Amino acid sequence: MPITVQQLLLILPNAGPVAGVFVPVLNTAMNRYQIVGSKRVAAFIAQIGHESGQLKYVKEIWGPTAAQMRYEGRADLGNTQPGDGSKYRGRGLIQITGRANYEACGEALGLDLIKQPELLEKPQHACMSAAWFWATKGLSTLADEGKFETITRRINGGLNGLADRQMLYARALKVLV
C-alpha cells in the first residue's frame, strides 16, 4: 500500500509542497526495503518526519554546536581525516552521520558518498538512505512488535525528541489504518 501525498500531509502537515516530491521516492524506497504494512510505514514516517523536521532538512544544520564538534576524530563514526566531522554530518531523512556510515550506505546504494556526500541531500537518495538504514538496523521487526522507543534509540542513540516522534507515530497509525 503506497502512501499518498494526502496521507503524508495529514501525518506531516508542515511538509507542504515538498510532500509531492518525496511521496514517489519514499514509496520506491519503502518498497525496495520492505517497509510495508501500516505498522512499519507509520513508524518509518514518524521517525523520518522527526529527523528531517517534517521533510524540511536533508542536511544537519551546522553550528558547529558542541555536540557536532565531537564528531571530529570519532573513530566509531570512521571520522579519521581532519574535517570529516563537518563533511560527513547528518544527511538524508534519517541523518546518516560519519565517514564509515557514508561509505557503507554508498556501497549499498551504488553511490560514491565519500567523494560526493551531498548526494544524500537529493530526495531520491535521502529516502533510499533512510530506508537502507532502517533495514540494516532491523527496524521493521521492531515496528512489527510495536517497540517504538527501541527504534528511536537505534536511530538517535537516545530518546531525543521522543514526544514529537510519538505524536507523529500516533497520527500516522490513524491515517494509515
What are the catalytic residues?
51
On whether the CB atoms of residues 89 and 111 are closer than 8 A, the answer is: no
Residues 6 or more apart whose CB falls under 8 angstroms from that of 17 comprise none
Q: If you ran DSSP here, which 8-state letter would residue 2 be given? A: P
**DSSP characters for 28-42?**
HHHHHTT--SHHHHH
DSSP H or E stretch at residue 131: helix 123-136
